[in-house]
Structure 1
Amino acid sequence: MIAVLGECVADGFAERREGELTLRVLPGGGPANTAAALARLGTRARFLGRLSGDVFGELFRERLAGVDLAYAVDAREPSTLAVASLDGDGKARYSFHAEGTADWQWTAAELAGPVLDGARCLHTGSLALVRPPGRDVVEAFAAAAAARVTVSVDPNVRPSLASREAYAVERWCAFTDVLRLSDDDLEFLRPGEPVERVCDEWHAAGARLVVVTKGADGALVSLDGARAEVPAPRVDVVDTVGAGDAFTAGLLHWLDQRGLLGGRLDGLDLEQVREAAAFAAEVAALTCTVAGADLPADRLPRVPSAG
């Protein structure tokens, strides 16, 4: 089982007409997207989130129907809303309504007890690791979890909600085994720096596997400094919402199917990483063929047997 800690966000897609603006709201939020995609791929997933009792919270629970919500928190605060506009390539730009919402109010008591029982991996990141007041609780929980499980982190940078300094990637690397981020994230965090040098610095800080996704240009994988490029499948893109989250789900699903999760990835080699990333790229591409962060259930790829 893979546990995922983080937020649910209501993604509102705007349609402008004279005198009015209509929002089509779909369930989103990077960690929730990853949990839902893991479950759809066939990996048992547990979501550690704070779910509001409002109408958006009902939408989130419906979307996470295949995910273990036994340790999700029933929150009194409202849900987070993100209003998205799409450019000509289907890439979203967001404006957030996130002050005082449920996702950032974590307390240590809410993450105590058997929340990781049965888990081989904890995936977290995104806004839950950078938004006060709960960010310190989430980081401390992830750091402690590293003694028990493989830890995966996706910074999922949102410059409108958190400063560059809030994304303490070097510090997170001390407890992170898998670090997945986009090329846009990398440019925001380390503008103008060569990706190879940044990867090597993050390896030195503790992260074994760094994956930089590059949209239609595929992904760069770096395992302890050994690197490879992985192409992306060509598809007809509806939008790219949730593609990175789906990539993470595909990557972790592949590693889980091969029995590589649960420790520090000691048995992992570069060829396996290349195969895992190719599978993940296929999962991400499928997500781009439909609206919103929704992995199509009728076309799911399968992890081939080892050997």
Structure 2
Amino acid sequence: MARPGSADNVTVLGECVADVFEVPGRSGPDGLALRALPGGGPANTAVALARLGTPTRFLGRLSNDVFGALFRARLVASGVDLTGSVTSSEPSTLAIAALDAAGQAAYTFYADGAADWQWTDHELAATRNNGAVCLHTGSLALIRQPGGSRIEKHLAQAREHTTVSIDPNVRPLLVPPSAYRERLPRWCAVADILRLSEDDCAILSPGTGLDEACDTWHAAGARLVVITLGASGALASLDGVTVTVTAPPATVVDTVGAGDSFTAGLLHRLAVLGHLGGRLDTLTLDDVTDACSFAAQVAALTCSVPGANPPWADELGPRVDAERLLRRQPD
């Protein structure tokens, strides 16, 4: 069990994706003006965790192309440790984003044969036993083959000494929903924390209420299920006992990376409270509420700027200042 207030390592395993947006007002009949921003759910989560002050290690397969260089620069500049990542000759994954009037993004992916999905057993074995109190993964890296099945096996071994967190981050344009539904019970069997969006729930458990869906995932093994509800906040269920938190007011530029930032805020706060490193045995509903409220604040700040650009700790004010004092307390 982690000591409350200790600076504990969280490892994030997954993909980097180049989010490509049209530049407003600069395209014409002769061509599109595009801007590529570094993204990818797991990479966004790692960046947000590190910016909040959590020691963070990212395990990714980073291409040696121009996008891979962009990913490395962003991760390193945010304070993320890349010592366990792999340099690959395969191309980076691209996601072309179209934003609607509310800032919601719809993606077209260019992902076949990309570096992110090619994990080998040997590469994953080399990342074990790094002292992390939590291993977070999910998104496309956990579902696309050949790497996805290998990551599943890696999680089963890692959970012997670390808390496991999973965000399915369902992408039905790339992977049939039936594949997610078939594999989700296996993910719940190794996950202590399952974080999903309301849209994910509608795909994974269609026609089912959120409380009933949570009960199903608890029965499969996940102790803490957190469902983000966009501007309505979040619903959290700890062993079937639920709580809702509201989202703080935000001026939304776009919602890119908001869910990833929420996950980072949740894991950061659970680490500060001393609950990562095992099976969440001492976690209380009050602490779940605290962590989700903090996570909603981090997500709201991410929505207030373009792209997946999560806040730094000093943008969150007194609450993070209090955490710094807690971390400096002697054992």
Return the TM-score normalized by structure 2. Answer: 0.90
Is the 1:3–1:116 contact (alpha carbons within 8 Å) kept by the matching residues of 2?
A: no
Aligned to 1:146: 159
Residue 52 of structure 2 is aligned to residue 41 of structure 1 = yes
Cα distance in 2 for partners of 1:25, 1:191 equals: 34
Q: Encode CA deviations 1:230-277: one digit per residue, 9 max, x unaligned.
A: 000111111100000000000000011111100000010111100100
Cα distance in 2 for partners of 1:225, 1:241 equals: 30
Aligned to 2:304: 289
Structure showing greater relative contact order (alpha-carbon pairs closer than 8 Å, 6 or more residues apart): 2
Report how far residue 115 of structure 1 moved: 3.5
Cα distance in 2 for partners of 1:103, 1:293 equals: 19
Aligned with residue 282 of structure 2, among 239, 256, 267: 267
Report how far residue 30 of structure 1 moved: 0.2
Unaligned residue ranges in structure 1 (runs of 5+): none
Cα distance in 2 for partners of 1:200, 1:17 equals: 51
Aligned to 1:60: 71
Which letter maps to 2:52? L
Is the 2:225–2:237 contact (alpha carbons within 8 Å) kept by the matching residues of 1?
A: yes
Which letter maps to 1:204? A
Return the TM-score normalized by structure 1. Answer: 0.97
Q: Encode CA deviations 1:176-222: one digit per residue, 9 max, x unaligned.
A: 00000000011111112111111001111110000000110100000
Aligned with residue 155 of structure 1, among 157, 164, 168: 168
Residue 109 of structure 2 is aligned to residue 101 of structure 1 = no
Residue 10 of structure 2 is aligned to residue 2 of structure 1 = yes
Which letter maps to 1:35? A
Cα distance in 1 for partners of 2:127, 2:213 equals: 36
Which letter maps to 1:20? G
Question: Within 5 A, what are the aligned runs for 1:72-221?
Answer: 72-167=85-180, 168-221=183-236
Report how far residue 114 of structure 1 moved: 4.7
Is the 1:30–1:126 contact (alpha carbons within 8 Å) kept by the matching residues of 2?
A: yes
TM-aligned CA distance change 1:257 to 1:33, over 3 Å: same
Cα distance in 1 for partners of 2:129, 2:171 equals: 27
TM-aligned CA distance change 1:124 to 1:114, over 3 Å: closer
Is the 1:11–1:83 contact (alpha carbons within 8 Å) kept by the matching residues of 2?
A: yes
> What percent of counterpart residues are identical?
61
Q: Encode CA deviations 1:276-296: one digit per residue, 9 max, x unaligned.
A: 000000000000011111113
Report how far residue 165 of structure 1 moved: 2.2
